[in-house]
Amino acid sequence: MLDRITGMQIFARSAATGSLSAAARQLDLSPAMAAKHVDALEQRLGVKLLHRSTRKLTLTEAGQQYLDACLKLLPELEEVEASIASQRVLAQGLLRLNTPLSFGVKYIAPLLKEFNRLHPLVTVDLGLNDRVVDLLEEGWDLTIRVGKLKDTGLVARKLADAEMIVCAAPEYWASHGSPATWADLSAHNCLSFTLSNISRPAEWRFGKNAEHSVKIQGSLRTNNGDALVAAAISGLGVLYEPAFIVADGIRRGDLVPLRLDVESAELGGIHILRSANRAPPAKVRVMIDFLLSAFGANSPWLLK
């Protein structure tokens, strides 16, 4: 099927030069192919656009009307195409980035001043929630996910590791004693994150492959990590949360980490995901590169 836009370009240039052959040369086409495009336009419209002779071309009345439309539409189309193409090279426009609530507030928002300095033409729409969003259906350019990834067809880059840590306030350990083994946690008030696959409200998992599980109970469960930290700092109970959630509290001495007789379950890391577009726009590429450089070995929640 012949391209309608190319046909419009050939027709407009033919009208300007008075020659179908000249228009063909300007567009690097053969005269025969140029003629096919114009014929296709006339067949589609059901009218004659050009009177063609061996000496010159003249416009019909319908051809003049169509030329007026082409001269209006083609520059607008070229401007749009140039604008879209420039986004592959120049980082600009609205970038929609979705992150888990606590992670976004603690670690993404403080970076945006520097990102804006580097890329002033990009406006960031930062979405904060702990549910798994549908990147394509909900219109996000990028999303950050914590934990092991499922095969979603998205392109993922690992930003950083994030180990799981058992901790509680100093006064809680002083009042209730420190468990010596992972199984001893069943006797403690365990505060749970309802969206986790590792620190579930009724069961916490340990071991590299989450092969050890202990039944737990507690007086608080919630879908927000910061609420759990606040409750734990008050002395309410024990946390089993990712390092990026509890690191600040541990550094201040508000929370004391505990090493048990088995290692924590492997969380799966923190990843940034985009659609499988082969050539993502520059605004997406620069944000991925920026976050990769900001985390990794320099992750601010590392306690070692």
Length of the chain: 304
pLDDT band at 86 (very low <50, low <70, confident <90, very high): low
Q: What are phi and psi of 143, to 5 degrees?
A: -140, 145
Nearest to 302 by CA among 246, 263, 233, 262: 246
Instruction: Kindly tell me the burial class for residue 47, based on how many C-beta atoms sit within 10 Å of its own C-beta (0-12, 13-18, 19 or more).
Output: middle
pLDDT band at 116 (very low <50, low <70, confident <90, very high): very high
**161 vs 243: CA distance, rounded Å:** 9
Instruction: Calculate what percentage of the chain has a pLDDT beyond 70.
Output: 93
Check if 4-86 and 164-258 are the same fold. Answer: no
Residue-range domain boundaries for the chain: 4-86, 93-162+268-298, 164-258
**93 vs 286: CA distance, rounded Å:** 12
Per-position DSSP letters for 133-155, written without gaps between them: --TTTTT-SEEEEESPPP--S-E
Protein fold of 4-86: Arc Repressor Mutant, subunit A (1.10.10)
Is 0.75 topped by the overall pTM?
no
pLDDT band at 183 (very low <50, low <70, confident <90, very high): very high
CA torsion angle for 168, 171, 175, 176 (degrees, to 10)? 0
Sign of CA dihedral 130, 135, 140, 145: positive
Quick: pLDDT tens for 123-159. 999 999 888 888 877 889 999 998 888 767 889 999 9
Protein fold of 93-162+268-298: D-Maltodextrin-Binding Protein; domain 2 (3.40.190)
Lowest mean per-residue pLDDT among 69-78, 84-93, 193-202, 244-253: 84-93
- Looking at every residue in the chain, the average pLDDT score rounds to 88
**62 vs 71: CA distance, rounded Å:** 14
**202 vs 190: CA distance, rounded Å:** 9
Give the model's pLDDT for residue 73: 86
The residues facing 156 across adjacent strands are 273
Give the model's pLDDT for residue 1: 53
Quick: pLDDT tens for 227-284. 999 999 999 999 999 999 999 999 999 999 998 989 988 888 899 999 886 678 889 9
208, 263 contact by CB (below 8 A): yes
Protein fold of 164-258: D-Maltodextrin-Binding Protein; domain 2 (3.40.190)
Give the model's pLDDT for residue 10: 87
